[in-house]
Chains A and B, each alone.
Chain A
């Protein structure tokens, strides 16, 4: 297993940093174009929600830890944050999807991000442990081309 951690501030400028990490790890893990895009989309959407609603809307700031773990058959990205507990799985995404049959001019704006996130990856998990939200994204790859090493690298952005 290969693990890497990135620590970013809780503002929207972190989206690019995390996207770059996900894209790089996806390439190393041998995910195909679709899997890479979908994983990046899922992580980006939940990270946006954490920053906007977990931190900014509550007048808070902090650091978000992003862990990337490469396994033989999957890439796992975990977002850890200290904003108030919020489980994205509690969101009624079926209600969001009901809007998809409406013309754009009649739609509500909101809820799409979590819908994307839950749809995009092979598996999504949420945990709240030791005062931290843990949003876990698992993308299983369809082709096995990556090597497995056991080095570890931590990167901090503040």
Chain B
């Protein structure tokens, strides 16, 4: 399945939907989309990854890039990740810096 990424910004919440294979060949597309939403300085970024079948280290680097681009005060949600992707995030301690959820509800989530 080819990689696709789409984005929208609603107020202070940026939503990106990722599908397919996120690897070294496709990570640049993700980076371009992050740079696009970063211009609107969102407080929250939600990555919808229900249809993301694979994430290589290039994907981890993009999560690092996202945090470094937007700053530590920006919350990054990873929504609907499949088990193996969660395992990859846990292996690298990334799960401690992003918020893993099954469903994203901005108001409730931001309140914590």
- Taking the nearest CB of chain A, how far is it from the CB of B24, in angstroms? 4
Given contacts A12-B24, A105-B72, A112-B57, 17 further A-B contacts (CB under 8 A): A12-B25, A19-B23, A37-B54, A41-B54, A45-B57, A48-B23, A99-B93, A100-B93, A101-B93, A104-B64, A104-B66, A104-B68, A109-B65, A112-B60, A113-B56, A113-B58, A116-B56
Return chain A residues, CB-CB under 8 Å to B50.
none
A34 to B88, CA, bound (A): 11
Binding site for A on B (CB under 8 A): 21, 23-25, 54, 56-58, 60-61, 63-68, 71-72, 84, 87-88, 91-94, 96-98
A142 at the interface (CB under 8 A from B): no
Interface centre among B23, B72, B94, B96 (most CB of A within 10 A): B23
Q: Determine whether the beta carbon of B84 is less than 8 Å from that of A113.
A: no
Q: How many A-B residue pairs have CB under 8 A?
A: 75
A27 at the interface (CB under 8 A from B): no
21 A-B residue pairings within 8 Å (CB atoms): A12-B25, A16-B21, A19-B23, A19-B54, A41-B54, A41-B56, A44-B23, A44-B56, A45-B56, A45-B57, A48-B24, A103-B72, A103-B96, A104-B63, A104-B64, A104-B68, A105-B67, A112-B61, A112-B92, A113-B58, A115-B57
Return chain B residues, CB-CB under 8 Å to A51.
24
- Taking the nearest CB of chain A, how far is it from the CB of B77, in angstroms? 14
Q: Determine whether the beta carbon of A19 is less than 8 Å from that of B21.
A: yes
A3 at the interface (CB under 8 A from B): no
Q: Determine whether the beta carbon of A13 is less than 8 Å from that of B84.
A: no
A44 to B57, CA, bound (A): 9
Q: Determine whether the beta carbon of B57 is less than 8 Å from that of A116.
A: yes
Q: Determine whether the beta carbon of B68 is less than 8 Å from that of A105.
A: yes
| A15 in contact with B24 given A105-B72, A119-B91 (CB within 8 Å) | yes
The listed residue (B25, B67, B94) touching A16 by CB distance below 8 A is B25
Q: Determine whether the beta carbon of B91 is less than 8 Å from that of A116.
A: yes
**Nearest 6 Cβ contacts at the A-B interface:** A100-B93, A112-B57, A104-B67, A12-B25, A37-B84, A104-B97
